[in-house]
Amino acid sequence: MQVKWRFNIDHPIRSMKEMFAAAEELTRKYGPYRVAVAVGQDVMNLDGLRLGQERNLIEPILVGHRRHIEEALEQLDLTPQSWQIIEEKDHIQATQKAARLVTSGGADILKRGKLLVRDFFRALLDKKMELLQPDDFWSNVAVLEVDGINRLLFLTDCALVVNTDLPGKLRIIQNATKFAALLGVTQPKVALLAAAEAVTPGLPVSLEEAVIAKMSERGQFPEGVLVDGPLSLDLAINPDAVIKKKMKSEVAGQADILVVNNIHIGNALFKSMITLCGAQSASTVVGPPIPIALTSRSEGPENVLLSLALTIIMAGPKES
């Protein structure tokens, strides 16, 4: 199923502030967006949802264990009676019930709550949900704002694709470049990350990434998309490293999109940026027919708010 976003941004979004402003533009015109939260009894998530409510961005619908949800709300000094709660104690059933709210038009966005990522996706990928079609490819993209970098970074995949082959990596790149275009980055520079920039026969990932880079050199990606690799992280984003290492590349030092080799590297890099660098983040899944906000349990409520803003942009204008 080809996902087509209906909101057009005509300039590159360079900061979370700009991204948030784009979401606010939509909510001023269409009102708050309804967010169905699967297993909605997580205090951090609820705190982020509260921030969204206060800014008139969202209307939460909490699907999960009612008593646990009410206890979590009370921890935040919030009144449970003022929140819409749908009782469902089973995590898988709660996720599927929340997803059906979105597919049926009862909500606009799906949000992961207090359950493991694997259980969340196991529920969504169940055949009876009919969310994944034969030609679909789902991948996670995290949007990051890091101090000292004058643009947003798109990191993929941190949460969904455990490992993949070369064709799969091409699909990850395709998803990421299309998603970057949603935020106005229509000519993205894509860095394929590795431990070093040298193409080394003993390191299969470097050979695979060199093949993809050659495809880019020969114009096998859409116009405006530049892909290079293997590139170390410093070479991908730091112009000073490019000068020191005398690297010749149209991507090095300027990468918008960072593609990792597997989920372990992606998850570690993502959490390092959050935990050690204080990066702001918003995370989603590209490929499903519904917008999905996907935040880590280690993130704070402000990043939950940013993920909600991102998925409002993905949802786009509401149909009248």
CA torsion sign for 195, 185, 142, 254 is positive
Which fold is adopted by the domain 7-132+288-320? Rossmann fold (3.40.50)
Helical residues (DSSP H) of the chain, grouped into ranges: 16-30, 43-54, 66-75, 91-103, 117-124, 166-182, 204-217, 233-237, 239-245, 263-275, 301-315
Q: In the predicted model, is pLDDT for residue 65 greater than 80?
A: yes
Query: How many Cβ atoms are within 10 Å of 221's Cβ, its own excluded?
Result: 19
What does pLDDT average to over the chain? 94
At 69-83, the pLDDT tens digits run 999 999 999 999 999
Residue 1's pLDDT is what? 46
What digits encode the pLDDT tens for the residues 126-154? 999 999 988 899 999 999 999 999 999 99
Q: What is the mean pLDDT of residues 17-27?
A: 97
Average pLDDT value for residue range 204-219? 94
Judged by DSSP in three states, 129 sits in: helix
Q: How far apart are CA 147 and CA 162, in angstroms?
A: 28
| Local confidence band at 296 (pLDDT 50, 70, 90 cut-offs) | confident
Question: Per-residue confidence at 171, pLDDT binned at 50, 70, 90?
Answer: very high
Cα–Cα distance between 147 and 46 in angstroms, integer? 27
Domain boundaries, the chain: 7-132+288-320, 143-281
Task: List the beta bridge partners of residue 59.
Answer: 34
Structure-block tokens of residue 189:
């520079």
- pLDDT bucket at 3, cuts 50 / 70 / 90: low
* Average confidence (pLDDT) over 55-62: 97
Residue 4, pLDDT above cutoff 70: no
Which of 320, 319, 315 lies closest to 22, judged by CA?
315
143-281 falls under which CATH superfamily?
Isopropylmalate Dehydrogenase (3.40.718.10)
- Per-residue pLDDT averaged across 99-125, rounded? 96
Instruction: State what percent of residues in the chain have pLDDT above 90.
Output: 90
The type of residue at 318 is K
- pLDDT (mean) for 23-46: 96
For residue 143, the cross-strand partners are 154, 282
For residue 156, what pLDDT band results from cuts at 50, 70 and 90?
A: very high
What pLDDT is stored for residue 100 in this prediction? 97
Position 157 confidence tier, pLDDT thresholds 50, 70, 90: very high
Model confidence at 8: pLDDT above 90: no
Distance between CA atoms of residues 212 and 204, nearest Å: 13
